[in-house]
Amino acid sequence: MYDSGVKFVNDYTMIYSGAPSDNKTRKAHGVAICLDPIATKVWKDSGSEWEAVINPSTKKVAEDADKFYFDLQDTINNVSTNDMLIIMGDLNAWMSGNQQQLSPTNCVGPFTVDVENENGTRLKNLCEINNIIVSNTFFQHKLLHQTFWIHPGNKIWHMLDYMLANKKFRSSVEDVQMYRRASGAIGTDHHLMRTKIKIHLKSRRKGDLQKKISMDAVKLKDEKLVEAFQKDLREMVDDVNVDTISIDEKYELFVSHLKKKAEEHFIPDKKFNRKRKEWLTDEILKIIDKKAMAFVEWENHRGTNLEANYRNKYKRLRKLAKTKIEHRQEEYWDEICEDIEKFIKINDPANAFSIIRRLKRGNKRVENMPIKDKNGKLLVNSTDQLERWREYFCELFNIHSTVDPDVINEIQITTPSRSDLERQNAQPSIEEVERALNQMKSRKAPGSDEVTADILKAGGEPVIKWLHEIFNDVWENEKMVKEWSSVTLVRKVIEEANVAGVKFSYGRNDFFHGCREKYENFNVLALLYADNLVAMCETTDDLEKFMRSFEKITQKFGLTMSVKKTCIMTLQQLKKDQHGKIFKGHEVDHLNIDINIRNQKIETVDSFTYLGCTITRDQRQDTELEIRLAKAARAFNMLRYTIWHRKSVSIA
């Protein structure tokens, strides 16, 4: 376990902290908090935070230990007294409690196993100052379930790992116990410490959430299952009377029946263990269990004549498990590589790249990306984050603008032909619905109703008829389905989240101006693509005149030019002698271009990106080539250790 962060394992969330990844060792283990789905939801909404503080070993000098506790105290000071504080890890401290003088103010409980050392005194002082308890010492267990580490010399067990919590939440800690078998499975000299925490929070009203359904992609392609699915839908359509209900009720009935039947036919088999790694087999699991049992037997016979036998047995099983896992992983990756190459050879890139995207990993979780306010302050509370998003979209879309009436009157309205009018006024036909459904892309995320295009396509004729009826009702009654009027704003992942406030990566290429470059046959060259404009002018005066005119004309149409996304770039010119010979490395001096729009100065840059291509002052393609090669190398290296080094893959 290296570094610190958040990892999602199926429905569970692991908040972990370990040693830095730049110094990898076999002893680099750490601590983690495991949250179930309900606790994960509460954790996200509460704005909880975690921070890693590295503790020096006992071999370090006292100054390092003091620095650690100073850093730990600074972290504690940042936590509100109303919040629960949890400190976990190897603190290299031996603690002892006074079992004769127990009181509610004690920070150390009666169930200790060591004689207090210097680090134990430091830890005890920290707990007394901050009203923190050492939870390990308040729960009575057998000695083998209280100690975590055995001294390699004198073979004495000690308690070095601790779970600390503030006294306000001491009743929330239900148990702290050590487990030996888990440490044998991963090969560490520290045993696993497990803490059970149950926090009683104030209940709140839950909204009506759509039930998420997961479909088996293999079953969706099974002709027999698809035929049975369509048969059930056909019977359902015949049995339901939809003439007396509203459009919204009809659509809700359609969605509920469709999801119900889809779950009956296409839901993944429960016997398939999705929590297990794809390459993991029952044989490997049995060997791992035997290895863990052998470790426990070795622990039970420490210091006896049979210790060497049990230690050798554990090492043999550990080596066997490692060999089996490596062999099975090789087989698994070879199978994956063969599948990818097979799809590429039959011209099926969709399936090939779906496997590659699944393998490359490293995708950022949107909900974990930081959000900052306008002043750059990090927002950790979900309420503040939603308020920031509301503020951002209000500023983005609620822009005051006026349209010149004369401009509207100048717009010529073309009269459509009779055939076009008949086609536009006709009700949607069932053929149009079928054609539109077939044009929908598969394997895409569903809307708020959780109905995917794959399910609609699998429904076939019954789904087409039902959708056709709903579309006709909307056409005749001129009333939209309420579900279709709602919009879900999906937060965009911003690379490295290195932004101040909220800013989407539109780039700075919406408006480019160049000058001092001689062109023949024209004075102004403009490149237009959607709202991206590049204008090249011969002189600075022409450039400023163009910008003023552009600003004035766009305002007549109710449009506002973004000054922040507008920039100026002068093309590089080299000096020449009287004979026209170019002096390399000697650039013509350009005057500082000072153009202001709405009291804001337009920034001057040395390069910009237009439609994905980088353009520089020297008009060379070196920078663009370097960027493209870097992107290709980055994408290639993502699969370096999972695919490209496999012997079964041929790169041609």
Contact in structure between 287 and 324 (CB atoms under 8 Å): yes
Boundaries of every domain in the chain: 53-197, 273-363+623-652, 506-620
pLDDT, tens digit (0-9, with 9 covering 90-100), for 291-326:
988 888 888 888 888 889 999 999 999 999 999 988
| pLDDT tens per residue, range 324-342 | 988 988 888 888 888 888 8
More confident position, 56 or 428: 428
The 10s digit of each residue's pLDDT in 537-579 is: 878 888 888 888 888 888 888 888 888 888 888 887 777 777 7
Q: Which tokens is 206 given?
A: 């839950």
pLDDT of the residue at 319: 92
- Return all residues near 49 (Cβ < 8 A) that are at least 6 apart: 380
Write out pLDDT tens, residues 73-99: 888 887 777 788 888 877 778 777 654
- Among 363, 347, 330, 354, which Cα is nearest to 649's? 330
Of residues 72 and 359, more confidence is placed in 72
Separation between Cα atoms, residue 465 and residue 62, nearest integer Å: 79
pTM of the model: 0.44
Three-state DSSP at 539 gives coil
d(CA 342, CA 188): 42
Rounded to 5°, the CA angle 48-53-54 comes to: 150
**Mean pLDDT lowest for which of 56-70, 418-432, 603-617?**
56-70
Give bridge partners of residue 195 from the DSSP assignment: 176
CATH 3.60.10.10 fits 53-197, yes or no: yes
Residue 357 amino acid letter:
R
Amino acid of residue 530: A
Q: Which residues contact 303 (CB under 8 A, 6 or more apart)?
A: 155
The whole-number pLDDT of residue 320 equals: 93
Sign of CA dihedral 548, 554, 558, 561: negative
pLDDT score for 30: 66
Residue spans of beta strands (DSSP E) within 74-179? 86-90, 132-134, 149-150, 157-158, 161-166, 173-179
pLDDT at 6: 78
Give dist(CA 618, CA 606) in Å, integer: 9
pLDDT band at 524 (very low <50, low <70, confident <90, very high): very low
Structure tokens at 404: 């010149």
DSSP letter assigned to residue 190: B
Backbone torsions φ then ψ of 514, nearest 5 degrees? -120, 155
Top-confidence residue, 388 or 5:
388
Q: For the CA atoms of the chain, what is the radius of gyration? A: 34
Is pLDDT larger for residue 172 or for residue 639? Answer: 172
Q: Do 43 and 13 meet the contact criterion of CB atoms below 8 Å apart?
A: yes
Sign of CA dihedral 624, 626, 629, 633: negative
Q: What was the pLDDT predicted at 316?
A: 93
The pLDDT of residue 585 is above 80: no
pLDDT in the model for residue 494: 38
369 pLDDT tier (thresholds 50, 70, 90) = low
pLDDT at 263 over 80: yes
Query: Is pLDDT larger for residue 204 or for residue 216?
Result: 216
Residues 6+ apart with CB under 8 A from 143: 113, 157
Average pLDDT estimate for 183-194: 70
**Rounded average pLDDT over 137-142:** 83
